[in-house]
């Protein structure tokens, strides 16, 4: 095995692709260099004919191309020419001259997902879920055309912008047309994100993309890939190990998220969840992805909720209000007009408040268990085992019950991306819990209370950080094309043809 950053014999990996001078194209003005990768240098450019159009131009020196690299490039162009999808970077055109081939791509100003994750250290689950949905839609589209990406990793996933980013799958240099029965033997991709069967077996198939998706989701949630290593030798040992991938302790995730991770990160591809199971998984929840009909669905359901409410059928009304919220939140994301977004957010707040009010009428607050819309114990699946008993140990302490309820509401509102309201609830819950903690005598309940406070402080800070990041005047995320810079990769691309 080669060391990180080195090529294998027979590899399609080439030397540095840095161009001596900025190329000249008749229709574009090339400006800043975004980065350099295996055999391409990428520039930000402006169109001369289309006013204010910004693009990214990937320049490939012909002299660097061996047969394997040429085949990969031709496949990339062929695939990108024939795909148009909101979550796949667009190939606008391609040109060539005596020295270079130019891929004129959609420009994504938000940088890549790797940079985004590293800047935040970890992503909150609701953001990881949103990104997972977008990747699922892109992959579902590719599967409908029998295309496998073969090099899924955060560096190959771009963000459309710095505020309210949309993911765009990019870099199809290793992509292949592969039906369900197709098998491959050549090693391709990035080792840190490469499925074990690519190393351990002589053949593999499209299911390697599912493993890579699991690694990406894992890294987004926990800050590191499951096989993170300081050397290639260490990485190879971890990949060839037969023990199951473990979910780290200390960062709380929902049961649905845990189930998806463990399903994707099965070493044996025959035990891994299928593409269909992935697309239909309740954590991915493609039914509630933002779309043009999200608002219509929300309005139809909330109309039923109001009817039940007026009739005094409170339990039915609560269920319908919560069902409607599952569509209202995507509707907010889909709306592009900021004034309309604000109106929708206010409606979400009103319906959520009414649902909470009705819940308290159905069951006294002192006895109420914190639940989310799915009727599951809120956070119970994700809370460390020692903290699960805090609600039970609250006993007759009404203040503690109320504070824990406010904390549950804060978590729910954060999940629905009502960040200002969530932070307000976190503030009140933490003020009360800190006051109770100060007066609580030493013992088991004090320990659990301390753990709950720590958890809520971390969650509130994550919401605050994300909210600040979404502001237009937030510190700029790098759009310097780090995805093309091999020095940012944990392990450089290796290919054997």
A 10 A CB-CB count for 233 gives 11
Say if residue 405 carries a ligand binding annotation. no
163: annotated active-site residue: no
Q: Dihedrals φ, ψ of 52, to 5°?
A: 70, 5
The C-alpha atoms of residue 258 and residue 350 are separated, in whole angstroms, by 32
In the set 151, 378, 479, 490, the catalytic residue is 151
Q: How far is CA 426 from the centre of its chain?
A: 24
Residues taking part in catalysis: 151
Binding-site sequence positions: 58
Binding-site sequence positions for ATP: 58
């Amino acid at each position: 095995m080669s060391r990180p950053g080195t090529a294998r014999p027979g590899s399609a990996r080439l030397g540095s692709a840095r161009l001596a001078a900025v190329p000249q194209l008749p229709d574009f003005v090339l400006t800043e260099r975004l980065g350099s990768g295996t055999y391409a240098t990428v520039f930000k450019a402006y169109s001369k004919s289309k006013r204010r159009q910004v693009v990214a131009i990937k320049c490939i020196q012909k002299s660097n191309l061996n047969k394997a690299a040429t085949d990969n490039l031709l496949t990339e162009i062929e695939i990108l020419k024939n795909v148009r999808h909101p979550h796949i970077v667009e190939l606008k055109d391609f040109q060539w001259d005596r020295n270079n081939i130019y891929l004129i791509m959609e420009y994504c100003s938000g940088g890549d997902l790797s940079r985004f994750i590293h800047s935040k250290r970890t992503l909150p689950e609701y953001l990881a879920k949103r990104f997972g949905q977008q990747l699922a839609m892109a992959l579902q589209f590719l599967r409908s055309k029998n295309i496998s990406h073969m090099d899924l990793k955060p560096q190959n996933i771009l963000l459309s912008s710095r505020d309210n980013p949309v993911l765009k799958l990019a870099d199809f240099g290793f992509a292949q047309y592969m039906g369900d029965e197709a098998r491959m033997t050549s090693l391709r991709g990035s080792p840190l994100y490469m499925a074990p069967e690519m190393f351990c077996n002589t053949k593999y198939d499209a299911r390697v993309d599912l493993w890579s998706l699991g690694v990406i989701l894992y890294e987004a949630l926990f800050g590191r890939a499951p096989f993170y290593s300081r050397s290639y030798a260490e990485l190879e040992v971890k990949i060839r190990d037969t023990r199951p991938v473990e979910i780290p302790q200390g960062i709380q995730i929902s049961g649905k998220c845990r189930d998806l991770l463990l399903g994707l990160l099965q070493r044996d591809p025959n035990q891994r969840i299928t593409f269909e199971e992935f697309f239909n998984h309740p954590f991915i929840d493609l039914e509630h992805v933002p779309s043009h009909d999200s608002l219509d669905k929300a309005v139809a359901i909330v109309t039923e909720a109001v009817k039940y409410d007026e009739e005094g059928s409170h339990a039915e009304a609560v269920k319908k209000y919560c069902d409607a919220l599952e569509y209202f939140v995507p509707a907010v994301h889909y709306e592009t007009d900021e004034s309309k977004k604000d109106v929708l957010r206010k409606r979400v707040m009103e319906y959520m408040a009414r649902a909470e009010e009705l819940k308290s009428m159905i069951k006294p607050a002192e006895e109420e268990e914190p639940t989310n819309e799915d009727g599951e114990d809120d956070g119970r699946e994700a809370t460390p085992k020692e903290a699960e008993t805090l609600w039970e140990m609250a006993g007759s302490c009404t203040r503690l019950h109320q504070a824990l309820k406010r904390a549950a509401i804060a978590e729910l509102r954060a999940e629905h991306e009502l960040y200002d309201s969530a932070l307000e609830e976190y503030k009140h819950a933490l003020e009360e819990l800190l006051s109770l903690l100060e007066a609580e005598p030493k013992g088991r309940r004090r320990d659990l209370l301390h753990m709950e406070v720590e958890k809520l402080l971390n969650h509130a800070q994550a919401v605050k950080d994300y909210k600040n990041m979404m502001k237009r005047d937030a510190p700029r995320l790098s759009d310097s094309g780090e995805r093309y810079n091999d020095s940012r990769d944990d392990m450089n691309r290796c290919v054997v043809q």
